[in-house]
Chains A and B, each alone.
Chain A
Amino acid sequence: MTTEPNAPTSRGTVTIEIERCKGCALCIPACPPAVLRMSEAHNGIGMPYPELLPGCTGCGACLLVCPDFCFEVWQYDAPLRHAEAGAPS
């Protein structure tokens, strides 16, 4: 399978419990590769929540600063190239 040479890669990823998020947005500036942004949609308590874009390194800074225990952090065994698999659709 061929991939584009500049395809975005992620060395890690996060799972986010968006229904527990209170929308404080502390994770957004805390993310070193700046791959988190607040959603335009709202969760069940009416708050925006973080969305993940390609480029996560799995560093866990989001988890460290989150007051509501919303993040779980993973590191891939090999960097994930989004043009190959798991590409946003």
Chain B
Amino acid sequence: MSERSRPSDALPTDVRPVEGARRVGRMRPALLLHEDHDLCPGCGEPVAIRVLLEAIEELGAAQRAIGVIGIGCYTAFTSTMDIDLVQALHGRAPSVATGVKRMQPENLVVTLQGDGDMVNEGLQEVIHTAARGENVTCVLLNNGVFGETGGHMTSTTVIGQRTKNTLEGREAATHGHPILIGDLLAPLGGTAYAARGTVHDAHGVVQTKAMIKRALTAQQQGLGFSFVEILTMCPTGWFVPTADGPGYLDDVLRPVHATGELKRDGRILTTRELLDAARKQQP
């Protein structure tokens, strides 16, 4: 875009400062080969992938990281994520990760799945992996829809949420209740760490990165299964304008899938307890 189109009150943003300034944030994480992707405007998944890659890099594990990738919109990043990757079938990433980790125990093994992939298609895989205490980290990108295949309901869709096949909103009597996957995984004996983060605002992004680093550190310490769920925006699947995505996540998804740590150092908190704590903090 030429400088001619810049309004008179706006500052130039097309050139880097020449001197007297230091760069404190780079456009893409070092482990992403280039910035371009074809995901929708306002999608939360690239933000989650940014913090995952940054966490791996900051732990000094880039050369030892192996990602096991499920199938969803995020799978588009397999061509640009600069770590070793294995593509799993729908829902099977935790089982594939089990095999990878048992054969390569010195490596850092991370799965990346969506809610449709993990909670619908492969629910038993992740539960058994956690119960066995496999020393892997599973990352769930939860937006409550099957985004890649058209935006229909998943097992995490909240009551009242509109999707392509629940146009009047999910109704418990017809469609059942959402599965709070973190609550299923945290109490299992093999689970060392479980948390639910969000990328709908900058504070949530920072917290989510800290959760991922704790989960990966638990794996590095050989403590067992670790799990981080990340609430991500899908304005296309939610039928909302892109700019309304973060607010929709905060107003609709987060009151059900409350954010916080579900298991740390042996202490378990349920989603209900996280919700109660959040309500007490409200003025």
Contact = CB atoms under 8 A, between A and B. Distances in A.
Contact of A71 (B8, B25, B37, B243): B25
Contact of A18 (B13, B22, B25): B13
A72 B27 contact: yes
Interface in A46-66: 47, 49, 51-54, 56, 58, 60-61, 63-66
A49 B1 contact: yes
Given A15-B13, A51-B13, A78 B20 contact: yes
Interface string B48-61: 00100000000000
B21 A64 contact: no
Interface string A1-45: 000000000101111111110111110111000000001110110
A16 B235 CA distance: 23
B106 interface: no
Interface string B3-29: 001111111011111001111111110
> Contact residue range for chain B?
35 or more
B245 interface: yes
A65 B46 CA distance: 9
Given A15-B14, A61-B202, A68-B35, A26 B245 contact: yes
Given A17-B27, A74-B22, A88-B8, A52 B242 contact: no
Contact of A25 (B201, B202, B242): B242
Contact of A22 (B1, B27, B32, B41): B41
Q: How large is the interface on A (under 10, 10 to 19, 20 to 34, 35 or more residues)?
A: 35 or more
A83 interface: no
B202 A73 contact: no
B44 A67 contact: yes
B206 A64 contact: yes
B205 A65 contact: yes
Nearest to B208: A64
Nearest to B242: A24
B201 A30 contact: yes
Nearest to A10: B11
A86 B25 contact: no
Given A15-B13, A26-B242, A41 B1 contact: yes
Interface of B: 1, 5-11, 13-17, 20-28, 32, 35-37, 39-47, 50, 199, 201-202, 205-206, 235, 242-243, 245-246
6 contacts: A18-B1, A39-B7, A63-B27, A67-B47, A69-B28, A76-B21
Interface of A: 10, 12-20, 22-26, 28-30, 39-41, 43-44, 47, 49, 51-54, 56, 58, 60-61, 63-78, 86, 88-89
